[in-house]
Amino acid sequence: MFKGYFAAVVTPWKNGKLNIEAFVRHIKFLIESKISGIVICGSTGESMLLSQEERRLEMREASACIKGRVPLIINVGSPDTGICIAQAQEAERFGPNAIMVTCPQYVKPSQEGIYLHFKAVHDAVGAPILAYNVPFRAGVDIATNTVKRMVDNLPRMVGLKDAGNNLSRIAELAKVYPSERFQILYGNDDLALAAFAMGACGIISVTANIAPKECVEMYEQFFAGNVSRYSAIRKKLTRLHQAMFVESNPVPVKYALSLMRQMTDEVRGSLTQLSQESKAEVEAAMCEAGLLCKRK
């Protein structure tokens, strides 16, 4: 089920408030572009800056908009296991295909603490669970043996989003668990093809917000064995992947979407809009990818 190019959807703001019209419009754009699936309330969606009511509104509107046409994954996460359980139970009400649970951030738990956190959330809901390993944000890496422990003991632990750089872990897990039982989704656009070669089923992508058709075609051509075509698309998107992280995600991708007139480039909290130098890099990368000149 969780295969292909999934978009890690951004949260649009307008004058400091959630712009739900732009949010729904963007999801429709992604679905029309044949995206493989939708992930909301994640890192790219500024999840830590959403109020409970804003999360609820995004979940409700995304579910109503998608209507089962593509898989919907809702991300939850808190270092407080009780809060994370409450988020997961509310997310389950909106009928996602899976709930993605972020590794507890900031507190740097032990591997035992990580396992017990995921087990508690798993046992509190009936939906399939994806673990989200994001060491550069959480401050701790979910060890491969901990992932195996979860898969072996938690029957609805069906997948992993891995945003680390340990590609050998993907190969090791893919060798042990068939994709029908456990799906690995990578989290870094720039290494997506390498992750696919190692056994990942797909990717949860930032770049897919602005180049969904190109990303999906690259994935399809890779698995069809059309080396010349997927290599050409990869080359076209390489600078764009890098530009999406020229400053903290999701600041660059929101600026790119503003250039495409999808939404404003507003961000919230301690995030700031792009510097002029970074704006120039994003614009140049979009032109190189054929996006800005085509869609501006």
pLDDT in tens for each of the 296 residues of the chain? 799 999 999 999 999 999 999 999 999 999 999 999 999 999 999 999 999 999 999 999 999 999 999 999 999 999 999 999 999 999 999 999 999 999 999 999 999 999 999 999 999 999 999 999 999 888 999 999 999 999 999 999 999 999 988 899 999 999 999 999 999 999 999 999 999 999 999 999 999 999 999 999 999 999 999 999 999 999 999 999 999 999 999 999 999 999 999 999 999 999 999 999 999 999 999 999 999 874 44
Count the neighbouring beta carbons within 10 Å of the beta carbon of residue 294. Answer: 10
Task: Verify whether residue 115 is a known catalytic residue.
Answer: no
pLDDT at 165: 86
φ, ψ at 70 (rounded to 5°): -140, 160
Could you read off the pLDDT of 92-109 as tens digits, one per residue? 999 999 999 999 999 999
Does the residue 235 lie in any domain?
Answer: no
Does the residue 36 lie in any domain?
Answer: yes
Count the neighbouring beta carbons within 10 Å of the beta carbon of residue 293. Answer: 10
Task: Give me the CATH number covering residue 150.
Answer: 3.20.20.70
Does the residue 230 lie in any domain?
Answer: no
Does the residue 294 lie in any domain?
Answer: no
Domain range enclosing 74: 4-224
Does the residue 22 lie in any domain?
Answer: yes
User: Would you report the helix, strand and coil content of the chain in percent, each value rounded to 5?
Assistant: 50, 15, 35
Residue in 115, 132, 219, 255 annotated catalytic = 132
CB contact at 8 A, 264 and 258? yes
φ, ψ at 61 (rounded to 5°): -70, -35
pLDDT at 295: 45
Task: Verify whether residue 132 is a known catalytic residue.
Answer: yes
Q: Please work out, in degrees rounded to the nearest 5, the angle formed at the alpha carbon of residue 217 by the alpha carbons of 214 and 221.
A: 140
Does the residue 282 lie in any domain?
Answer: no
pLDDT at 187: 95
Does the residue 286 lie in any domain?
Answer: no
Single out the residue of 165, 112, 113, 111 nearest to residue 143, CA to CA: 111
Residue in 3, 17, 67, 161 annotated catalytic = 161
Alpha-carbon distance of 85 to 97, in angstroms, equals 17
Does the residue 266 lie in any domain?
Answer: no
Q: For residue 44, how far is the Cα from the chain centroid?
A: 7
Contacts of 101 (CB under 8 A, 6+ apart): 75, 76, 77, 84, 88, 117, 118, 121, 129, 130, 131, 132
Burial class (CB in 10 A: 0-12, 13-18, 19+), 218: buried
How many domains does the chain divide into? 1
Q: Work out whether strand 13-14 and strand 17-18 pair parallel, antiparallel, or are unpaired.
A: antiparallel
